[in-house]
Structure 1
Amino acid sequence: MRRRRFLGIGAAAVGAGTLGAFAVPTAARLLTEGRPGLLLNSTVPLPEAFQVPLPVPPVLRPVSSDGGTDHYEITQKAARLEILPGLRTETWTYGGSYPGPTLAVRSGRQTVVRHRNELPVPSVVHLHGGHTPAESDGYPIDLILPFGSDRSLAAPGMAGMAGMPGMEHPADLPLGRITDGDRSYTYPGNQRAATLWYHDHRMGFTGPGIWRGLSGFHLVHDDEEDALPLPRGDRDLPLMLADRAFAEDGSFRYPAVDPALAVPGVTDDYMNGVLGDVLLVNGAPWPRLDVDRARYRLRLLNSSNARLYRLELDPQPSGGGALVQIGGDGGLLEAPLAHDAVEIAPAERFDIVVDFSRYPPGTSVRLMNRFGSERTTEVMRFDVSSRTVSDDSAVPERLSDFERLDRAAAVTTRTFGFRRSRSDGWTINGQPYQPGRALARPALGTTEIWRFFTDVHHPVHLHLDPFQVLSRNRADPGPYDAGWKDTVDLRPAESVEVLVRFTDYPGTYMLHCHNLEHEDMAMMADFVVE
């Protein structure tokens, strides 16, 4: 189906409330390979690898604290940053940096983050992995309008819905919790230590929003984690992996159907995801880091729109098991798992300990991406120091008092199919996204089994509560499914069962694919906890 004809159908579907202004991916493009996406090449000469020092995002300090609450302020604004050496890139930022500042918070303390929007477009902030009340979860039409903009643009039924023409929904449904210029998000802190992240979540435009820079770390700490002898301080490193493409002037390239981002969607060839030819770590291209001959904790986050990574150290240390996993999306595992490589899908996190004392002094160790090609096979480099240092860290055999959910406690099983529809694009259970239409209504306090199945590759993300993986294709979970998860990697023609318990907060939440081009083209669904 060609774009012009499909856009006409999308416009006709506005009255039905579906997210419709996008084109349908061609079957030929989807089935050419098991991994998603198409490479978008840069048109600027790319720098040599391992020339730029690894930057570490600054930790944001609260503007005030009272009782059990810490208050933060972040201004969303455009900034011209030096990402490629010698060039400036127009970037959408949290607080003027990419990645945005890291929030390091305590479990049990409430966090309130006030976001002021000085971008040229509306925004929505989602704390990914956050156990959050619905009004602060980042529902995709809960817009923060740009400071000083015209609120009338957000009225139901008006073309544009705050800059999103073709994406209106029925007038009898609420438009969303829209605020003018700023919004405060409240995170109660009722969750265990974990590596979380925050990012833009605006309906139809999450892909270009994150591509242009709207992402940052949100680290939760607790007493259980603090009692362990894990690496800390400068040896506890958040590493945000992302791929991007750049134009001759250093600007980001992105195949949006509308460069002004008034109409959502990407051009036909990129319907299955956009891949860049530059790998960034914490916003730097192929960086390098001097490391001691000691253990380091690497908090790996895949913030790419669609790229999958298979990460491996080169050379491998003698004896293998170089990557010791201590945590995942939802925090510490019960016990460490040693891997030679880890596979990480968009939005997944892996907390890994690497012991660089296993390498001779002066060794250069590359972090490789075995799913990449040409320049995207290398991620960054660690240069092992020759000096002698002390290291009192360790990885204990037991990490956490881990609660295992009971399958027998599940009150029902629900099935969700993630598939391409010839008429409606990316769908869940055959339906493109419509705000206000719930595909499930679990009861607060209950446990359910949710079964996901797919045609092609989809990383599936569940808001509100983490889950535990029960099975893949009715067999055991995979090697990277351990612990509490909020995103699970569904491979082509695969089914995965997860066990989830709905706790604390009623309201409307989301289930969606975290391939951002799929998400923006309707592969989302509401569920309501009652």
Structure 2
Amino acid sequence: MPVPQQLEPTRRTSDTDYYEIVQSPATVEIIPGLRTPIMGYNGTFPGPTIVQNPGRRVVVTHKNALSVPTVVHLHGGTTPDDSDGYPTDFVLPAQTYGTFPTMPAMPAMPGMPAMSDPDAVVTRMQRDYTYPPQPRAGTLWYHDHRMAFTGPSVYRGLAGFHIAHDTEEQALPLPRGARDVPLMIADRAFASDGSFMYPAIDPTMRTTPGVDKPWVNGVMGDVILVNGAPWPVMKVDTARYRFRILNASNARTYQLALQNSSQGFTQIGTDHGLLPAPLHQDTVVIAPAERFDVVVDFSGHKVGDEITLVNRLGSDSTAAVMHFVVARATKDSSSIPSTLSRTSPITPSGSMTRRTMKFHRGGQGEWLINDQAFDPSVSQADVPAGSTEIWTIISDFHHPFHIHNATVQVISRDGKAPGRYDQGWKDTVFVNKGEKVQLAIRFSDLKGRFVFHCHNLEHEDMAMMATFRIT
């Protein structure tokens, strides 16, 4: 099983690490014996991993060597608005790209009017994204966030890990080094020549966004990739391993379980860092863009044992995810302390602003929020910097709710207590069909315009996104 390469800074100052990434086309071997054209950060899928250490600022210069505009979003990051990856803040690939002027008009889905965004900040060929020290340790990820084309861009490879550390986490005796492993799980479909099969209306990603009608609920594939490899095998020691699990699929939700093992998972964290205390999970249900930080203990196994990570929501080729083979007996000095992090739950109060956001299908086949298709000029919420609000998300389908530059706690589901997978600080919350999920959202003190949206990427591209402003 491959592990994404950790990117080294091009230079360092007293408080900042500088990186460079080139977004470029490449051809890689994913299916053995076949070659797959990708869009890759530094030509790889996944892209290289950026590690952000406590108190350090990170500046990433992204250079666009592709044939289409891009936008980079640090998913889960506390980020200034000019580096957050607002979906119309394009990095154009060349000085003479197409007919895009300084303030571009957005390509439109069939049956919908074109939009323009006079506030878009467009650069040509490269852009510096600046990320301040992150308030908590967490498994973040960066991916393309281009208006109307996020789905095909991520599907073709534009995704990578960004792991933030803090001093609280680093003081714990958790597995580290080679036993701290990011796992990016993503499903894809392939043509007979090895190329990705994405049902885009416009495969060039230059004119008309959207997917063929059978795929408007979300694009799913029949090959499960982990870190870009199909159903890989990982050799492990008789020791504890920390797995940072990311669901980078466009639309597929997984129920993960360990077959041929009685250990299960010890969940230690979620989207935005460590839980207050470890939580045993027999299975993990993970929707697109969610992250689960778990420890798996292989010390009870003997050399030669095989354990399969399975997907209980899958069938046939999507029922298995990857395999672990116990290859070496060893000593292990790691442990899982009973207390992981100093966090406290949010208690709703009468002074908190309350809002309702209805996620639903529109009459033209688009996906809407409060009857509104995405419009950069319309803010559905203006919120004070650093404030906490109570939002109720109402869903007519399966929608992973994601909000930028804020952190979330689940207060209730249909008036009942949060579920087992709702614990801790999150930025992505799965809302099932017909549910009402109440969230406490704590907004950053970084002001500007940001978005919230469904992280089923086809829904996001088909207008299920809205602007909010931190004031």
Q: Which band: TM-score by shorter chain? A: over 0.9
1:109 is the counterpart of 2:56: yes
Give runs of aligned pairs for residues 323-334 of structure 1, distance below 5 A: 323-334=265-276
1:528 aligns with 2:441: no
SS in 2 for 1:114: strand
Q: TM-score, normalised by structure 1?
A: 0.86
Structure 1: 4+ residue segments shifted above 4 A: 155-161, 163-167
Q: Does the aligned pair in 2 maintain the 1:326–1:399 contact within 8 Å?
A: yes
Distance 1:424 1:340 in 2: 38
1:467-486 deviation digits (Å, cap 9, x = unpaired): 11101111100110000000
Residue 307 of structure 1: aligned partner? 252
Which whole-Å CA distance do the structure 2 matches of 1:483 and 1:410 have between them? Answer: 23
Determine the C-alpha separation between the residues in 2 that align with 1:258 and 1:425. 17
Question: How many pairs are equivalent?
Answer: 470
TM-score (norm 2): 0.97
1:256 lines up with 2:200 in the alignment: yes
Q: Distance in 1 between matches of 2:110 and 2:145?
A: 13
Deviations 1:388-446 (A, max 9, x none): 31100011111011133232275211000000112362000011111121000111122
**Residue 212 (1) aligns with residue 156 (2):** yes
Match of 1:141 among 78, 81, 88: 88
1:147 touches 1:182 (CA, 8 Å); kept in 2?
A: no
Deviations 1:328-374 (A, max 9, x none): 00000000000110000000000000001122331100000000010
Instruction: Show CA shifts across 1:276-322 (max 9, x none).
Output: 000000000000011001000000000000000000000132xx5x1
> 1:407 and 1:144 mapped to 2: Cα distance?
40
* Structure 2 equivalent of residue 487 of structure 1: 428
Q: Which amino acid aligns with 2:435?
A: E
Partner of 1:477: 418
Task: Spell out the pairing of 1:414-429 with structure 2 (5 A cutoff).
Answer: 414-423=355-364, 425-429=366-370
In the aligned structure 1, how far is the partner of 2:115 from the partner of 2:156?
Answer: 27
In the alignment, does 2:449 pair up with 1:508? Answer: yes
CA contact (8 A) 1:424 1:431 kept: no
| Structure 1 position 504, deviation (Å) | 1.7
1:124 aligns with 2:68: no
Is the contact made by 2:25 and 2:39 (CA closer than 8 Å) also made in structure 1?
yes
Distance 2:54 2:358 in 1: 35
1:272 paired with 2:217, answer yes
How does 1:37-76 map onto structure 2 within 5 Å?
54-76=1-23
CA distance in 1, matches of 2:413, 2:375: 29
Match of 1:82 in 2: 29
Q: Residue 407 of structure 2: which of 441, 466, 474 is its match? A: 466
The 2-side partners of 1:141 and 1:164 are apart by 19
8 Å contact from structure 1 (residues 438, 526) kept in 2: yes
Q: Residue 232 of structure 1 corresponds to which residue in structure 2?
A: 176
What root-mean-square deviation, in Å, do the aligned CA atoms of Structure 1 and Structure 2 show? 1.8
Matched, 1:517 2:464: no
Matched to 2:301, the amino acid is Y
Q: Which has the higher contact order (CA 8 A, sep 6+)?
A: 1
Q: Distance in 1 between matches of 2:107 and 2:218?
A: 25
Q: Which amino acid aligns with 2:3?
A: V
User: In structure 1, what is the Cα distance between the partners aligned to 2:307 and 2:356?
Assistant: 44
Match of 1:203 in 2: 147
SS at match of 1:407: coil
Of residues 136-145 and 188-197 in structure 1, the stretch that sits farther from structure 2 once superposed is 188-197
User: Counterpart amino acid of 2:219?
Assistant: V
Aligned to 2:349: 408
SS of equivalent to 1:441: strand
Change (3 A) 1:164 1:218: farther
Q: Which runs of 5+ in 2 are unaligned?
A: none
Whether the 8 Å CA contact 2:111–2:364 is kept in 1: the answer is no
Change beyond 3 A, Cα 1:258–1:176: same
Contact 1:151 1:180 (C-alpha < 8 Å) held by counterparts: no
Q: Paired residue for 2:330?
A: 389
Identical-residue share of aligned pairs (%): 51
SS of 1:517's equivalent in the other structure is helix
